[in-house]
Amino acid sequence: MPWLLASVEDLGGRCGGQVWRWSIQGQDDVFCACEPLTAGGRMPRLPFSVGFVPPDTVVVAAEDDRVVAIDAARDAVRWERPYTWQPVDVFAIEDPTGQPMAGVAGRTRGGSIRAITFFDLAGAGAPIERTVNGDLPLGLNVASVTQSPFSRRWFRALDSMGSYAAADVDPWTNERFMDPPHTAGREGFYLRTLHASFDGTFHRTVWTGERSDLDPRVREVYRLARADDAGDQRVPLGERCTESADRRDYDVLCEYLHAVADPALNTSSFALCGHSGAERRIVRLSLTGICRTIVEQAAVQEGLRISRLGLAQPTFWP
């Protein structure tokens, strides 16, 4: 570790779903591919969302199917639970007693997030489901949820149409923290996804979306490298692939579908780039616009779709 994770759906039904992994090194050109996870052959065919709960559990959620917790060291199923929502995000959290849990944010098809379900990491007890705009102090336009880099018992939420790009929420006390550094404004941006982490030094938050104050709109990745700064907490200037590693123009125009922070370099992020119709690739995007392609899905096998990224770290919190 740390690992970059990618949930991969098998649209053709030939080999089953997978979680791809890379060991992340500090150098720009080093990505050590690890053996994909298949949950011992029991991975859902369409694992849309992937997350990691320290110290060693990868969790995937598949639409109208199930949530599967995987022992990453043995690639074996720890537990499975049915799941009826369309999953959006999987994230790590702890309950008030310090028990590790996996949170799964779900929506109705094509809509915003309607419920967050908390699964005990040990597989004990019934899942706890909390509704948005009901049990939780969130509105009806929540687009993405991730772990909070500030507290093990909070999560961060993105309101795509409201006032905040990120706000920390304690689901056990139903409190939302809107004072810096626990929030970020989103005026001038239409944001789609959110991911947060702590790398041992910096609290980071990364979004994908576009500038809504420009015509035509520009699709970008937005990276707040110091989310613990109580000062200016607006979404920063965006980054996008403009050059390849050899300084030539980048070969595709990306629609950024998801992104996570780079735990090895504070000047870059990892992004899922959609291009040329249904093609998708994973890139390492630097603040200077240089992009290094890590994998192109079609180069691995036809009928696959990379759906979400994730990070596996020893911890996400101070």
Domains of the chain, by residue range, sit at 3-312
pTM as predicted = 0.94
Q: What is the pLDDT of residue 230?
A: 65
16 Rama class: left (phi>0) / alpha (psi -120 to 50) / beta: left
Per-residue pLDDT of the chain (318 residues; tens, 9 = 90+): 899 999 999 998 888 899 999 998 766 666 789 999 999 999 999 999 999 999 999 999 998 899 999 999 999 999 999 999 999 999 999 999 999 999 999 998 888 999 999 999 999 989 999 999 888 999 889 999 999 999 999 999 999 887 788 999 999 999 999 887 777 777 888 899 999 999 888 888 999 999 888 778 889 999 987 767 666 667 888 999 999 988 999 999 999 999 999 988 888 999 999 999 899 999 999 989 999 999 999 889 889 999 999 999 999 998
| Per-residue pLDDT, 29 | 65
Radius of gyration of the chain (CA): 18
Nearest to 235 by CA among 169, 164, 172: 164
Task: Answer whether 51's CB lies under 8 Å from 34's CB.
Answer: no
Across 239-269, b (16+ Cβ under 10 Å) vs e yields bbbeeeeeeeebebebebbbbbbbbbbbebb
- Confidence (pLDDT) at 224: 86
Query: What does the pLDDT read at residue 14?
Result: 82
Residue 208 has what pLDDT? Answer: 96
CB–CB of 218/239 below 8 Å?
no
Using CA atoms, how far residue 162 sits from 25, 57, 257, in Å, is 37, 33, 20
Distance CA 236, CA 28 (A): 23
237 three-state secondary structure: coil
Q: Which residues contact 158 (CB under 8 A, 6 or more apart)?
A: 142, 143, 144, 145, 164, 165, 166, 186, 191, 193, 194, 207
Residue pair 18/38 in contact by the 8 Å Cβ criterion:
yes
Give the DSSP H or E segment for 55. none
CA distance 7 to 51: 9
Helix or strand or coil: residue 196? strand
Distance CA 158, CA 168 (A): 9
CB 78 within 8 A of CB 70: yes
Closest alpha carbon to 225 in 201, 203, 199, 198? 203
- Exposure string of 285-301, with b = 16+ CB inside 10 Å and e = fewer, is bbbeebbbbbbbbeeee
User: Hey, which CATH number is domain 3-312, 3.30.70.380, 2.120.10.30, 1.10.287.130, 3.40.50.920?
Assistant: 2.120.10.30
Strand partners, 248: none
Look at residue 232 in the predicted model and tell me its pLDDT: 65
Which residues in 207-225 are b (16+ Cβ under 10 Å) and which e? bbbbbeeeeeeebbbbbbb
- For residue 196, what are the β-bridge partners? 205
Residue 12: how many other CB atoms lie within 10 Å? 12
Dihedral (C-alpha) 177, 144, 194, 277: value to the nearest 10 degrees? -160
